Amino acid sequence: MKKGNKYGTHRVIEPKGVLPQPANKIDNNMDEIWDNEILIDVQTLNIDSASFTDIEARANGDHKKIAEIMMDIVAKQGKHRNPWTGSGGMLLGTVEKIGDALVDKIDLKVGDKIATLVSLSLTPLRIDKIKEIRPDVDQVDIDGKAILFESGIYAKIPADMPEKLALSALDVAGAPAQTAKLCRPGDTVLIIGAGGKSGMLCSYEAKKRVGVTGKVIGMCHSQKSTERLEKLGFCDHVFAGNATDPVGMIEKISSLTDGKMADITINNVNIPDTEMTSILCTKNDGIVYLFSMATSFTKAALGAEGVGSDVTMIVGNGYTKGHAEITLQILRECDSLRKVFTELYS
């Protein structure tokens, strides 16, 4: 086997000298793998929410058109990086082959079922057939192959929960794990998009961390997700709102916090133009965690400057140490949330 680069630069076609994620095109030939790669027989693509929402809108909801757009993205780039949002997703599959240099270094064997925890925007991918599209959960079942680089992270699918349930949670594992790191007892936490997949996990984790002296405020998009979150009971206040309306949101959060605003705001939405709501609803020395891949960091940076806000803004890194374990443990310890996730996503 040929010796590969740890970060997968040996797969970059153009432009040369860059890493696979920013590359315009990478090699997705699966006939031969390099010595530090893992070949995966792909079962399901879990498309990033911002990316799938964008593709679905461009296709006017037509499944055939969604499939055509996805196939075209991979044909042109060798990976599934949405050219309009820049985001990818992750995948579920079975280990088919392990490069010689990795055989004795990793805890995987051929036949193991895994979820990759690195973005599809950098993962060499070949789609042979799109079998089923499930827009309600942003998942697409395919026949295809993918490559995981030596530096790539993954999680074995646990034996105590269904594959699709684990996949849905692992897709957003960075958000609740980062929430666990950021929230402290007594904090007031605002979660924008609290009724969605990552939002519900973050709401649970935030309440666990802030305790009885803290407060968790959940803003949802629809009445249905608002009612669902209210029933779960993780938040002290739940309401339906428009995250693209910063003026209306400021008034609402001010009234719920006696004008103090949030110590921490966690943005989980999958639409653009919610940056200023996140910033203005957070107190001047607070923290804004922008997990949403629909975020424009130019708008966030210049917008904060424009209103004289000294918030600390954190890029929504999908990885933090122990994120898979933390997220799966939430589903193990919270029966009500596991039931909702099972009904919605598995």
First vs last C-alpha separation in the chain: 38
Question: E strand or H helix at 312, and its extent?
Answer: strand 312-315
CB neighbourhood size of 319 (10 A): 14
Give the per-residue pLDDT at 115. 96
**Domains in the chain, start-ordered, CATH in brackets?**
9-163 (no CATH), 174-345 (3.40.50.720)
The C-alpha angle 63, 27, 24, rounded to 5 degrees, equals 70
List 289's β-bridge partners, or say none.
Answer: 266, 314
pTM over 0.85: yes
Give the per-residue pLDDT at 98. 98
Give the per-residue pLDDT at 294. 87
How would DSSP label each residue in 70-116? HHHHHHHHSS---TTT---EEEEEEEEEE-TTTTTTSS--TT-EEEE
For the chain, which residues score pLDDT lower than 70?
A: none
To the nearest 10°, report the CA torsion of 336, 338, 342, 343: 20
Distance CA 116, CA 155 (A): 6
